[in-house]
Amino acid sequence: MRNAFLNELYELAREDPRIVFVTGDLGFGVVEGFMEELPDQFVNAGVAEQNMTGLAAGMALSGRIVFTYSIANFPTLRCLEHIRNDVCYHDADVKVVSVGGGFAYGSMGATHHATEDLGVMRLLPNMVVVAPGDPVEARAATRAVVARPGPCYLRLGKAGEPVVHEEPIDFELGRALGVREGSDATVISTGGMLPLAVRAAAALAVDGVDVRVLSMHTLKPLDDEAVLRAVDETRAVVTLEEHSIVGGLGSAVSELLAERNGARARFKRLGVPPRFSPRVGSQEFLLAENGLDVETIGATVKSLLEPAP
């Protein structure tokens, strides 16, 4: 996803001199082409994310479309006050981009585990929150946030994520993508969990369970209609995210359903417990440690489809 984003932004910046890329001393090895060809649209702010955000807000208020970029916790949590007061309060055209959401930097410990960012950014007024599910969505999301004025948060994986969408997609901020149809249950995925959701649905199909998969690439604004259709048309709904179950996709869907009388489907959030991870390791290891695997998703869906005791 990282490379898909950078390549798309590079192409867009060639055509639009308003686009500026500000990095927190990250990405070297993949951003040199941008830096060398478009030096007036590239800034390395150094390991100083608060300054990076202030620079971005000032440039945005002067007519630029500014992207800030670093490892997931650093362009968000480290400079949260600056995003709130400088960017969101002024509705500035700043796009905060994080690379390595969730456990992508798992071996580096809790300081690099980005499991609260979606919830924190959802709270901010004027902020649009986007977490594409594969490289195809990442390219489309980059175009979409450039076109939309105002603050946006774009959460990416690290690199090497598989392509899920083999056909062209009709991407629109705030509108979920249907990846697979199903009538028994719905798995609503956000971010890099999409390939896992598709694999789990395929495994459940072998057992005769028909699962719908939605890619909820935009958490704010949420696609309320897609969620409510899933509740009305299937018997169970599961949210899947590489993020705390507090504040992210699961919370957004829960908030919607709590205010809707007569919701029929049973509901479960799958994500990370609201605690610091007691272990370090690869992304795959930490996902499995937190029950974010095909087996757990399948067992959860089946348990929701069983008759209530």
> Is residue 52 over pLDDT 90?
yes
State the average pLDDT over residues 83-87: 98
Question: Sorting pLDDT into bands at 50, 70 and 90, what band is 30?
Answer: confident
Question: Which structure tokens are listed for 54?
Answer: 């202030």
> Is residue 309 over pLDDT 90?
no
Residue range 93-124, pLDDT digits in tens: 999 999 999 999 999 999 999 999 999 999 99
Q: What residue ranges of the chain are covered by domains with CATH 3.40.50.920?
A: 177-305
The CATH-assigned architecture of domain 177-305 is 3-Layer(aba) Sandwich (3.40)
Q: What residues have CB less than 8 Å from 149, skipping those under 6 apart?
A: 91, 93
How far apart (Å, rounded) are the C-alpha atoms in residues 257 and 247?
Answer: 15
The length of the chain, given as a count of residues: 309
Question: Sorting pLDDT into bands at 50, 70 and 90, what band is 27?
Answer: confident
> Is residue 307 over pLDDT 90?
no
How far apart (Å, rounded) are the C-alpha atoms in residues 295 and 92?
Answer: 43
Dump the DSSP string for 155-206: EE--S-PPP---S----BTTB-EEEE--SSEEEEE-GGGHHHHHHHHHHHHH
How far apart (Å, rounded) are the C-alpha atoms in residues 208 and 221?
Answer: 34
Q: What is the rounded average pLDDT for all residues in the chain?
A: 95
State the average pLDDT over residues 255-270: 88
> What is the structure's pLDDT at 197?
98
Question: Which residue is it, tokens 């249907």?
Answer: 178
Report strand pairing: 211-215 vs 177-180. antiparallel
Dump the DSSP string for 224-265: HHHHHHHHHHSSEEEEEEEEETTTSHHHHHHHHHHTSTT--S
Phi, psi of 68 (to 5 degrees): -100, 150
> Is residue 301 over pLDDT 90?
yes
The number of C-alpha atoms within 13 Å of 66 and in the hemisphere containing its C-beta is 26
> What is the structure's pLDDT at 112?
94
Question: Sorting pLDDT into bands at 50, 70 and 90, what band is 149?
Answer: very high
State the average pLDDT over residues 36-63: 96
> What is the structure's pLDDT at 217?
98
What three-state secondary structure class fits 39? helix
> What is the structure's pLDDT at 28?
85
> Is residue 76 over pLDDT 80?
yes
Least confident of 30-34, 129-133, 172-176, 189-193: 30-34
Closest CA to 22 of 38, 1, 3, 4: 38
Return the CATH fold of 2-156: Rossmann fold (3.40.50)
Q: What residue ranges of the chain are covered by domains with CATH 3.40.50.970?
A: 2-156
State the average pLDDT over residues 179-190: 98
